[in-house]
Structure 1
Amino acid sequence: MRGPDSVLPRNAAVLIWVPVLLLAPLLNLPAAPVRLGGIALVLLAAAGAVAGVLLSWPDPTRPSMAAWLLAALAVTAGSLLWNGWAPAWLLVAMVAGLALPVRVVWATIPLTAVVAAYLQYRFDPAMEQALTRVFVVALTGTTAAVLNRLLITNRELRRTREQLAAAAVAQERERVARDLHDVLGHTLSVIVVKAAAVRRLLAVDPAAAAEHAGDIESVGRSALTRVREVVHDAAAPSVETELAAARDVLSAAGIAVTASPEFAVDPKLGEPLAWALREGVTNVLRHSGASRCRIELGRADGMVRLSIADDGVGHLGERADGLGGLAGLRRRLQAAGGGLETRPGTAGFTLIAWVPDAD
């Protein structure tokens, strides 16, 4: 009975009562010539009730409201002509709880109960019976309206949960893609630089070439570990480690490095800067053709700022589609409350990253 969006059990719970509650007026039909008109009224009430229920999911519509009104008018007309329509008012109240908007239904159900009691009172003038009719009709309509709202709320919660799950998957996919880009892009650039150094030194300084070859092996093993850490969300570089690695790899590539004095950075705030340092150095190795690179780390205006500037051929900056390493780095820094600025030019490139200072 669990149909899509709970519509099947909800509809069945109301529609199963249509023949039951409309049986009484059929069994008490007046004599001819009103009999045929009475049957028509019962059929109109049934059609209006069924249409009102079916057209009101997930939200009431104008057709569902018109269908309910048709059922209510048919039951009212029948109640004015002959006795036996009392159970039909329960159906009118139930359908009102489904077919009418919330802002209307809470006024309509009590009114329906009062009209039902008044029309019943015309044939059976007993106050106790009338008050009981008001209570029963109002309770029936209110119950239907509350259960309908619960089903709709459950549907919305389920869809929200699905959307949150999809967003979590997309966020995790973006994290893995960004971290793999940052980790492997940097590592592969280091391997390329070290391999070039091995080739350059092999004939003139075999010992130095062997040392660089050992570094390639070490970097490769480290890359495997870092990939595992990325997959398990455990890759958290530090500014100190990345700065030492930057000095080493830039020097191996023949790029003179100037770095500002180091100071302690809060690990949680330093992680985005460490990623920025890795991405900036990787871009210097890949694109700049620079002979000099200056790395500065300092505090200013409540921010910890990292600057990486080279004297190379320049860089076009971020990709327009937002898929490059700089775009991912910008999102990472913004998530930490910081930001990224790039200053591309024809004579060098400068990357500036910042995060709030914990001190």
Structure 2
Amino acid sequence: MNEDEMSVGIGRPPETRKQVGIKGLWIGVWLAFMSAPVKDLADGSHTAWATALGTLGLAVFVGSYLVLVFRPAPKMLNPFQVRVVLSFLGALAVLLSLALGTPWLVLFVYVSVSAGATLPLRSARWIIPAVTAVLVGIGLTGDHPREIITALVFPALLGGFSMTGVRQMILTTNQLREARATVAQLAANEERLRLARDLHDLLGHSLSLITLKSELAGRMLPDHPDQAAAQVADIEQVSRQALVDVRGAVTGYRRPTLPGELAGARTALAAAGITADIPADAPEDLPEKAEEVLAWALREAVTNVVRHSNARHCTVTLAPRQTLDGRILELTVADDGRGTSGTTPGNGLTGIAERLATVDGTLITRATNSRSGKGFTMAIGVPFGSGLGSGE
């Protein structure tokens, strides 16, 4: 079970049974403060009729509270419905507190927390003190008002305003998630436009020339077959060059780059719930072939971390290093997962080794923690200096 399965993302409703159970457990912990009214009902100090109505009122209160806090309010209720449910909770808290006594004043804490979790700050900043004031007013009419007010006022205020901060964090997280999706879509659109421009620049002139020469050859063919054959030869040459240009362009689009793979690794690890330390950029003077090999190796290494390691943290480093054989650029991917118990390399490591052989690179694998054998570290080195990049 990985961390992504265990966690319930901020601002997102639970999607699996495990996430429902986890979120329900957290909310259930806070419902433990309902012990005061439950104990009051169990003591038998009220009539049977009052106990039955109190039990029903408490069940309805808890159900309404869960409707508000179990999932983000925008996913469940519109603003009007939120205010209706909050008003109902407040009225029920007042009714039960006045009818059954001071142990029921704890319900106002839940009303305050619900207001902070579901209302905008401009509304919550006066509703939370108002709820607390009602709590104090009713508490003054009961026994031992000082102890009761001291025990409940601070939880009501602190809980309510704390939830306003949590709600703002949820909204900000959702906005950032939407902005990230928008940026990704804009980047994809820009890439499509760039591809269209490049193909137009590559093929527009060549196709126009082929069309003109084809028409010219057609007109020359009856009377001047030799000249027509020359035009056809030119057409063949132009089309072959166009094909070479297109293949070169497609190869450039398909070739992975190290900066792109670093960004992709950061996104993949974050999506898997793995804390990552990844450099922001890569050396600009790295030869094309060496960069391609490192990019493929990084992609494979990060894929292994996400799929197989069950790690919580992954560190990627990229730094030049001097060896006896010369200067190299070393890429290291280290995780704190369960490590590897096998000695036979898989297809991924075999592919990395084969690519490294084309640039005289090196591959070293080891346990991240040599004592416990936990974790897995992959160190990939490629020559980095003068005379580089000839490993074609």
TM-score of the pair, normalised by structure 2: 0.50
Shift, 1:151, TM fit: 1.9
Shift, 1:190, TM fit: 0.8
Structure 1 position 20 matched with structure 2 position 32: yes
For 1:128 and 1:26, how far apart are their aligned partners in 2? 19
Local SS of the residue matching 2:13:
helix
Structure 1 position 47 matched with structure 2 position 63: yes
Q: What's 1:184 paired with?
A: 203
Q: Which amino acid aligns with 1:76?
A: V
Change (3 A) 1:13 1:70: farther
For 1:189 and 1:98, how far apart are their aligned partners in 2? 64
Over the matched positions of the two proteins, sequence identity in percent amounts to 26
> Deviations 1:70-109 (Å, cap 9, x if unpaired)?
1121112222231212432222122112333443112111
Structure 1 position 87 matched with structure 2 position 106: yes
Q: Which runs of 5+ in 2 are unaligned?
A: 1-6, 254-392
Deviates more, 1:35-44 or 1:15-24: 15-24
Q: What's 1:323 paired with?
A: none
TM superposition outliers: structure 1 runs of 4+ over 6 Å: none
For 1:51 and 1:97, how far apart are their aligned partners in 2? 14
> Deviations 1:324-354 (Å, cap 9, x if unpaired)?
xxxxxxxxxxxxxxxxxxxxxxxxxxxxxxx
Q: What's 2:332 paired with?
A: none
For 1:49 and 1:168, how far apart are their aligned partners in 2? 42
Q: Any conservation in 1 of the 2:199–2:246 contact (CA below 8 Å)?
A: yes
Structure 1 position 70 matched with structure 2 position 70: no
For 1:57 and 1:15, how far apart are their aligned partners in 2? 19
1:334-345 equivalences under 5 Å are none
For 1:132 and 1:4, how far apart are their aligned partners in 2? 30
Change (3 A) 1:85 1:17: farther
Change (3 A) 1:57 1:205: closer
Change (3 A) 1:142 1:101: same
Q: Any conservation in 2 of the 1:195–1:216 contact (CA below 8 Å)?
A: yes
Shift, 1:196, TM fit: 3.5
Q: Any conservation in 1 of the 2:10–2:173 contact (CA below 8 Å)?
A: no
Q: Any conservation in 2 of the 1:22–1:87 contact (CA below 8 Å)?
A: yes
Change (3 A) 1:126 1:196: same
Change (3 A) 1:170 1:215: same
For 1:179 and 1:13, how far apart are their aligned partners in 2? 55
1:21-40 equivalences under 5 Å are 21-29=33-41, 30-32=45-47, 33-40=49-56
Q: Any conservation in 2 of the 1:14–1:94 contact (CA below 8 Å)?
A: no
Shift, 1:14, TM fit: 6.9
Change (3 A) 1:70 1:160: same
Q: What's 1:154 paired with?
A: 173
Q: What's 2:12 paired with?
A: 6
Q: Which amino acid aligns with 1:187?
A: S
Q: What's 2:162 paired with?
A: 143
Shift, 1:199, TM fit: 4.8
For 1:76 and 1:93, how far apart are their aligned partners in 2? 13
Q: CA RMSD in A?
A: 3.4
Structure 1 position 172 matched with structure 2 position 191: yes
Q: What's 2:123 paired with?
A: 104
Q: What's 2:334 paired with?
A: none
Shift, 1:230, TM fit: 5.0
Q: Which amino acid aligns with 1:153?
A: T
Q: Which amino acid aligns with 1:21?
A: F
Deviates more, 1:66-75 or 1:157-166: 157-166
Q: Any conservation in 1 of the 2:93–2:105 contact (CA below 8 Å)?
A: no
Q: Any conservation in 2 of the 1:42–1:75 contact (CA below 8 Å)?
A: no
1:108-127 equivalences under 5 Å are 108-125=127-144, 127=146
> Deviations 1:258-311 (Å, cap 9, x if unpaired)?
xxxxxxxxxxxxxxxxxxxxxxxxxxxxxxxxxxxxxxxxxxxxxxxxxxxxxx
Shift, 1:166, TM fit: 2.4
Q: Any conservation in 1 of the 2:86–2:115 contact (CA below 8 Å)?
A: yes
Local SS of the residue matching 2:55:
helix
1:209-248 equivalences under 5 Å are 212-228=231-247, 230-231=249-250, 232=252
Q: What's 2:73 paired with?
A: 56
Local SS of the residue matching 2:73:
coil
Change (3 A) 1:27 1:225: same
Q: Which runs of 5+ in 1 are unaligned?
A: 234-359
> Deviations 1:25-68 (Å, cap 9, x if unpaired)?
12113411532332233233223212333582347522222112
Change (3 A) 1:24 1:71: same
For 1:197 and 1:160, how far apart are their aligned partners in 2? 54
